[in-house]
Amino acid sequence: MATLFTPWRYEYIKRKAREDGCFFCAAAADCDDAERLVVFATSHHLVMLNRHPYTNGHLMVAPLAHLASPRDEEGAAAAELWPLVLAVQEVLADDLAPDGFNLGLNLGSAAGAGVPGHFHFHVVPRWSGDTNFMGVVAGVRIVPQALDDSCRRLRRGFARFAADPRFTPALALAEAGEGGGEGR
């Protein structure tokens, strides 16, 4: 059975985010807030920038629901995960022209998952010789302005997938930096 995105579920996700302090759940509850760095969202998944990136353009694909593993997904959610990962790779290839990519999942604390209860697929663009850069950047908070710029540009990059039939209906996101929100 496909799981549908419903208002009661949205309320549940919001409550869960408050209770657990899970930042993927917090982002799922508030995709449009530019502060959350979400660049694309369907009815089942979101794509967001990593605030502590491995390299420039490091994106993560996560379910809106608090699920520990892709094996917990069913129906439409399960069907769109891989096409969505490839869509993320396509947008980054066009936007940043990297020399390569790391695509991957860390499931469970033993495997290095930072948020073990909420799985997230990493899509990391790589450049020849970027290892020194990574040593400097990994784990370091980059300037918010750079993240805002990336967020705005990538939201435009994902516009081509807004009506893509492979994905459940996309949630409309305003262009980052527009309109306000609560941004703190």
Q: Which range, of 24-32, 82-90, 124-132, 152-160, touches Zn ion by CB under 5 A?
A: 24-32
Q: The tokens 């703190």 sit on which residue?
A: 184
Kindly state the smallest distance separating residue 22's Cβ from Zn ion, in Å.
Answer: 3
Q: E strands along 1-157, which residues?
A: 38-41, 45-49, 59-63, 100-105, 121-126
Q: Smallest distance, Å, CB 17 to Zn ion?
A: 7
- Candidate list 13, 22, 61, 147; residue touching Zn ion; CB under 5 A: 22
Tokens for 71, please give them.
């094996």
Asked whether position 45 contacts Zn ion by CB under 5 A, the answer is no
CA R_g for the chain: 16
Binder to Zn ion among 36, 44, 58, 66 (CB under 5 A)? 66
Q: Helix crossing, 144-158 with 75-96: angle to 10°?
A: 110
Reply yes or no on whether 120 is catalytic: yes
Shortest distance, position 26 Cβ to Zn ion, whole Å: 8
What are the catalytic residues?
120
